[in-house]
Amino acid sequence: MAHQPLLLALDQGTSSSRAALFNTTGQLIASCSAPLEIEYPSDGWVQQDPRGIWISQQTAMADLEKTLNPEQKAAIVSCGITNQRETTILWRRSNGEPCGPALVWQDGRTSDICEQWKSEGLESEWRERTGLVLDPYFSASKIQWLIKHETSVAQALAEQDLCFGTVESWLLWNLTSGKRHCSDMSNASRTLLMDLERLEWMESFCDVINLPPSSLPELVPCRGNFGQISEGIPFAGTPIQALLGDQQAATLGQLCLKKGEAKCTYGTGAFLVINTGHEIHRSNAGLLSTLGWTDAKGMPTYCLEGSLFNAGTVVQWLRDELKIIEKASQINDLANEVENSAGVMLVPAFTGWGTPHWDPSARGLILGLTRSSNRGHIAKAALEGIALSVATLVELAEESMGNKLHQLAVDGGAAASNPLLQSQADVTGLQVRRPSNLESTARGVAFLAGVQSGAIPDLNNLAKEREKGAELFHPNIDPQSRARWRARWENAVTRSLKWHEQ
């Protein structure tokens, strides 16, 4: 009897790399992860070692391969790569050696470059053509900073030996031993260098950042045939058939296939993504227009996105810096010790604000402390701060699209927290749906690889089953209490934005 086809997903995130195996219905068969170090060399600077990214992904793959039996290995038909987006890597084409550090999506060191571009009047054209705002979050200013400040980059550039890529490009290059230098359209749409409508690189914007077009990766659809894993690497010989940015992959993994369906991922940051169909939906409220995914011919599905830079980092901060918990899951017990946050609010702007303020100089705050405030109140306020931040994105998206969302699908590590999801339902008034397995990002790219390989005939058939085993959280506060809560939150956010003006 033939073994059911299996799909390999490589999920390279900010704090870890994962390798996961799924069947064609999206059921997780096995998964392994390896941690990844993050460096914070200065306030607002966030970087990683490109070699460390690759080693951590290889480690996860090797660990997974060891757990599989020969039948499972033989049943793997396709591999997909999903990744932390916007993180910027430059390397030499001749030998694959990285030039300088990987500047992580959260990195804010390029705010002066973005301000300079704004003062030169570049923002409106950039926004119109890319769907993004001029912010350090995206890759373009990171590339320019590396060109200006890293000697090894300048040397490679002078020798016409420089490659640029986001993380999926870097992984694909290494997985294929330098045979493929590609970027898929979902990741490319986050660089500030791709025209969202024409789906092509914009050479005029490359001129602004001093990057020769020859350094750009080949722009490809999100699914196709991108080579195979080289000999000597775990899962050698497996065809690589899907590339997808992590938030787009999670949207697909939640099977938000119809226009108006939405998901929020609570990972390092929190990301609300809403499917807007085959048309670009533009927002005037700081939400981003982005490419969701494409079919094999490059036909796009677009999304509207709100991006928050800090979600899971709040829990890590309570664990590593405040040391009021020993492991992340303990935040729930601590938050459940108190009936409410007793007026305490925590604004999680550790590395600035993303949507809707786009203010890299904003900082986190704890407000409303009294002599009786305790660890439980701070833990509860931390989870509520994440939920309140997301609620702002939901409200702006509803206003922008002109209709209400009915349900919010959730995933990511912090979505395991019941108090967080109950707060999310309460503060948005939406039903919140948590799938039985939170690996939506890896599942989404596995689905796309499955469709490309022919192992999955139609994702719409799977969408009918998505509520099976899911947990639903319903709002249980009245609209007046919600409005008062939200008003206090807006006041707290205003204070965090004005922090640098003090």
Provide mean pLDDT across the span 200-213.
91
Q: Check residue 22 and give its pLDDT.
A: 95
Q: Check residue 470 and give its pLDDT.
A: 83
Q: Do 224 and 305 share a domain, yes or no?
A: no
pLDDT tens, position by position, 290-319:
999 998 888 999 999 998 988 988 899 999
Whether 244 has a pLDDT exceeding 70, the answer reads: yes
**Residue 454 counted as domain residue:** no
How crowded is residue 69: how many other Cβ atoms within 10 Å of its Cβ? Answer: 8
Domain boundary (245, 279, 311) is at 245
Which pair of tokens denotes residue 353?
């604000």
Gap between the Cα atoms of 201 and 42, Å rounded: 32
C-alpha distances in angstroms, 325 versus 15, 67, 142, 367, 381? 19, 32, 35, 20, 15
Which pair of tokens denotes residue 363?
């900082």
Q: Do 239 and 264 share a domain, yes or no?
A: no
Q: Do 46 and 136 share a domain, yes or no?
A: yes
Report the phi/psi class of residue 366: left, alpha or beta, with left for phi > 0 and alpha for psi in -120 to 50.
Answer: beta
Domain with 395 in it? 255-434+470-502
Q: Do 298 and 240 share a domain, yes or no?
A: no
Under a CB-based contact definition with an 8 Å cutoff, are residues 305 and 271 in contact?
A: yes
Provide mean pLDDT across the span 33-62.
94
Whether 1 has a pLDDT exceeding 50, the answer reads: no
Q: Do 189 and 260 share a domain, yes or no?
A: no
**Residue 87 counted as domain residue:** yes
Domain boundary (245, 276, 292) is at 245
Q: How confident is the model at residue 329 (pLDDT cuts 50, 70, 90)?
A: confident
Pairing of strands 431-434, 407-411: parallel
In terms of Cβ atoms closer than 10 Å to its own Cβ (0-12, 13-18, 19+), residue 466 is middle
**Residue 446 counted as domain residue:** no
User: CB-side exposure of 14: number of CA atoms within 13 Å?
Assistant: 26
How crowded is residue 4: how many other Cβ atoms within 10 Å of its Cβ? Answer: 11
Provide mean pLDDT across the span 13-23.
94
pLDDT tens, position by position, 89-126:
999 999 999 999 999 998 989 999 999 999 999 888 88
Under a CB-based contact definition with an 8 Å cutoff, are residues 445 and 487 in contact?
A: no
Q: Do 162 and 309 share a domain, yes or no?
A: no
Q: Which residue has the tokens 């986001």?
A: 166
Q: Do 322 and 227 share a domain, yes or no?
A: no
Could you tell me where the beta strands, DSSP code E, fall in 115-261?
162-165, 182-184, 194-195, 200-201, 218-220, 240-245
Domain boundary (223, 245, 267) is at 245
**Residue 459 counted as domain residue:** no
Gap between the Cα atoms of 144 and 193, Å rounded: 12
**Residue 449 counted as domain residue:** no
Gap between the Cα atoms of 44 and 56, Å rounded: 24
Q: pTM of the entire structure?
A: 0.88
Q: Check residue 6 and give its pLDDT.
A: 96
Domain count, the chain: 2
Gap between the Cα atoms of 293 and 299, Å rounded: 8
* Per-chain mean pLDDT for the chain: 92
Q: What is the CATH number of the domain that holds 336?
A: 3.30.420.40
Which pair of tokens denotes residue 176?
């294929």
User: Would you call 272 helix, strand, or coil by DSSP?
Assistant: strand
Residues 6+ apart with CB under 8 A from 322: 378
Whether 447 has a pLDDT exceeding 90, the answer reads: yes
Q: Do 211 and 260 share a domain, yes or no?
A: no
Return the closest-CA partner of residue 9 out of 177, 27, 209, 36: 27
Q: Which residue has the tokens 């099977």?
A: 255
Q: Do 18 and 141 share a domain, yes or no?
A: yes
Q: Do 64 and 169 share a domain, yes or no?
A: yes
**In whole angstroms, how large is the CA radius of gyration of the chain?**
22
**Residue 474 counted as domain residue:** yes
Q: Do 240 and 260 share a domain, yes or no?
A: no
Which pair of tokens denotes residue 340?
């409410």
**Residue 452 counted as domain residue:** no
Q: Check residue 501 and give its pLDDT.
A: 62
According to DSSP, the residues that pair with 34 across neighbouring strands are: 17
Q: Do 203 and 339 share a domain, yes or no?
A: no
**Residue 502 counted as domain residue:** yes
pLDDT tens, position by position, 365-385:
999 999 999 999 999 999 999
